[in-house]
Amino acid sequence: MSDRQAKLTVRLAQIAPRLGDLAHNLDMHAQIVAAARADGIDLLVFPELSLTGYYLRDLVAELGLYADCQQLRALAEVAGQARVVVGFVERDAQGRLFCSAGFVAGGVVRHVHRKLYLPTYGMFDEGRYLTPGDTVRAFDAGGFRAGLMVCEDAWHLSVPLLLSRQGADMLIAVACSPARGLAVGRMAAQAAWEDMLATYARLTQSFVVFCNRVGWEDGVAFWGGSGLWGPSGEVLVRAPLLEEAVVDCRIDLRDLDAIRMASPLLADERDEVTWREMERIFRGRA
């Protein structure tokens, strides 16, 4: 039995932010955060770019926030001791702009993850307006370790692997995933995300949290379907499709110890082999 916090109530805020309207979105966030705090929620998760909307294009520069800005500090004050994940456009000291997810706890922004992979193909053009991040860090989330992934990050195996090898108990993926295609009984995008996240949960023996937005922008619908998966890959809660919703899930982090003891995948991982072979591959490409 580890010394991590035992039980957590996680709330997923599947919202439809108003494109480019920072003031409106901040007010909506403050209301949802205040309600979560009053309800004793331990972790509240918003989608990718929840403060701004997704198809920003030339609005990106107008909406960039410093990680220590007054707006985020005010939201952190509303949160109090509740932990909150929020999506925003981050501006750094050099004026670069990132698609970031911030982790708020104890009244301050404790950790920021900058989206590593910026899709610039098909309906996506993020690379034209944003700078890619270049770090993958698990962090102390107050009684457990967590790692953040922003949408496209989750489609690259290296990201959950690196977070897992840093001891993450929970992988938190936030997204603006458009509704696309049809599969048997599910949308194609939904099927791909759900299958992938369940697999990550199994292989990293971690809880996996997914918060996707809903609503319409520029003729594109976002499908929602936020959820939480347990360390055996089982879905524990799922939000509805295509509509705003707030869903809660109570989890026991001690389940991780039982799963990892019964099947010691993480303990048996041979990091030295991975490191050696990746170096060999990288040298070969160079």
Which CATH number goes with the domain that contains 73? 3.60.110.10
**1 located within any domain:** no
Q: Which residue has the higher pLDDT, 5 or 32?
A: 32
* H or E stretch at 223: strand 220-223
231 domain residue, yes or no = yes
Percent of the chain with pLDDT over 70: 98
- Confidence at residue 2, expressed as pLDDT on a 0 to 100 scale: 54
pLDDT of residue 5: 73
Q: Is residue 24 part of a domain?
A: yes
Percentage of the chain lying above the pLDDT 90 cut: 95
pLDDT, residue 1, reads 41
The pTM for the full model equals: 0.97
**What does the angle CA 10 – CA 216 – CA 117 come to, to the nearest 5 degrees?**
65
Question: Do 236 and 209 meet the contact criterion of CB atoms below 8 Å apart?
Answer: no
Q: Is residue 2 a part of any domain in this protein?
A: no
d(C-alpha 189, C-alpha 123), whole Å: 14
**What does the pLDDT read at residue 3?**
61
pLDDT per residue as tens digits for the range 83-123: 999 999 999 999 999 999 999 999 899 999 999 999 999 99
Tokens coding 46:
């918003």
**Domain around 180:** 7-285
**pLDDT digit string (tens) for 231-245?**
999 999 999 999 999
* Residue 217 in domain: yes
Flag whether pLDDT at 255 surpasses 90. Answer: yes
**172 pLDDT above the threshold of 50:** yes
Q: Based on the structure, what is the number of domains in the chain?
A: 1
Q: Average pLDDT in the 186-200 region?
A: 96
Chain position carrying tokens 């929020």: 86
Asked if residue 95 belongs to a domain, the reply is yes
Region 185-192 average pLDDT: 92
Mean pLDDT of 21-29: 98
Residue 188 lies in a domain: yes
Give the tens place of pLDDT for each residue, 265-281. 999 999 999 999 999 99
Check if the beta carbon of residue 199 is closer than 8 Å to that of residue 233: yes
* Strands 214-217, 207-212: pairing kind: unpaired
Average pLDDT estimate for 60-80: 97
Residue 87 forms part of a structural domain: yes
